[in-house]
Amino acid sequence: MKSFDISAYFLQQFANDDDMSPAIAAMKSLMESLRLDDSTTLQEFIAKMKDAREALSKTDVSVVSVSSGCELFMRFITLAHLELEQAADFASCREILLRRGEEFMKSMLESRKKILRSSNNLIKDGMVILTHSRSRNVLAVMKEAAKQGKQFTVYVTESRPDCSGNRMAEDLKSAGIPCTVILDAAVGYMVERVSAVMLGAEGVCENGGIINKIGSCTVATIAHMKNKPVYVLVESFKFIRTIPLNNSSLPKMYLHRASVLNSGRDLVCEHPLVDYTPPDNLTLLYTDLGVLPTSAVTEHLIKLYT
């Protein structure tokens, strides 16, 4: 492969577009790697793509959505078995892979617009919504509802340790949406006032549970106890083939940044990035595939990978 630093290219995607999902940035990076690839056989190409995926997993960005995006991208472009087998040489194979990759990227880049359509009637006048951290999809849906003239208010958790909720609140206020930042510890107190909870997700597990910013499990569990609906707005390319038993079973690579894992520090003292929310505490998933019950994720993944 020609000289290409896929990790640097990947990180540059975020510098260029702050609203880009890590999964989309990973797919774009794999596409660029494919364009520059000089493999002579399909086996050599797949091995190089595996190395590229491993390099992406070592960047200080959420591994959950990166790994799901990479796996789905590779799955899609290599599905054309008959076309690849009939190709005269690997140069022809590469053209097929590039074409399928471009088709896949075009489809995935439409995911957020499809989520906006599926959630068109989710927010109603007078609603009081609680959200956690900063989700690009939740923000997009709220902005669209505001453009339609709907009147609603939002409570945003502070979301420590990075206080990403403060940034979410700034984005909402810039869109003219009334919002209030609350302490993470105040969720139990405030949830009684809200109509619904809206969350994003870094990954959706095979059983319909989600992996998301630390604190999401607490928010969803308390909301469920108070009989408040919990809606998750997420792209289907974040569906992952894993079923955690509980938070303790989440892989360390999901919980901590690569720099932390490689530093030799005591992980017991490190603040985890994400937690796992079981499907029983979630109401519906608003996705680019439509509005889904949590049980539908298993069926979708079975169709995709069989």
Report pLDDT digits (tens) over 160-205: 999 999 999 999 999 999 999 999 999 999 999 999 999 999 999 9
Tokens describing residue 90: 């690997």
Under 8 Å between Cβ of 204 and 234 = yes
Mean confidence (pLDDT) of the chain: 89
Question: How far from 66 is each of 60, 150, 212, 286, CA to CA, in Å?
Answer: 11, 34, 13, 20
Reported as a pLDDT band with limits 50, 70 and 90, residue 81 is low
Point out the least confidently predicted range of 31-35, 128-132, 268-272, 296-300.
Answer: 268-272
Q: Are the CB atoms for 42 and 84 separated by under 8 Å?
A: yes
Among 25-39, 66-80, 241-255, 286-300, the minimum mean pLDDT is found in 66-80
pLDDT of residue 46: 82
- Domains of the chain, earliest start first: 6-109 (1.20.120.1070), 118-305 (3.40.50.10470)
pTM score, whole prediction: 0.90
Per-residue model confidence (pLDDT) at position 227: 97
Residue whose C-alpha is closest to residue 205's, from 135, 114, 274, 138: 274
Amino acid in position 47: A
Looking at per-residue pLDDT, the higher value among 39 and 9 belongs to: 9
Answer yes or no: are the C-beta atoms of 69 and 92 closer than 8 Å. Answer: no
User: Helix or strand or coil: residue 22?
Assistant: helix
Spell out a b/e string for 113-128, using b for 16 or more CB atoms within 10 Å of the CB, else e.
ebbbebbeebbeeebe
**Cβ contact 167:134 at 8 Å:** yes
Q: How confident is the model at residue 82 (pLDDT cuts 50, 70, 90)?
A: low
pLDDT at 200: 97
Confidence of residue 294 (pLDDT cuts 50, 70, 90): very high
Q: What are phi and psi of 277, to 5 degrees?
A: -110, 120
Q: By C-alpha distance, which of 61, 64, 196 is closest to 132?
A: 196
pLDDT band, residue 2 (cuts 50/70/90):
low
CA distances from 166 to 140, 152, 161, 205, 257 (A): 16, 19, 11, 28, 22
What average pLDDT does range 259-267 have in this prediction? Answer: 68
Tell how strand 203-204 and strand 210-213 pair up.
antiparallel
Does residue 143 surpass a pLDDT of 80? yes
Q: Which sign does the torsion angle of CA 59, 29, 234, 189 carry?
A: positive
Mean pLDDT lowest for which of 1-10, 97-106, 258-267? Answer: 258-267
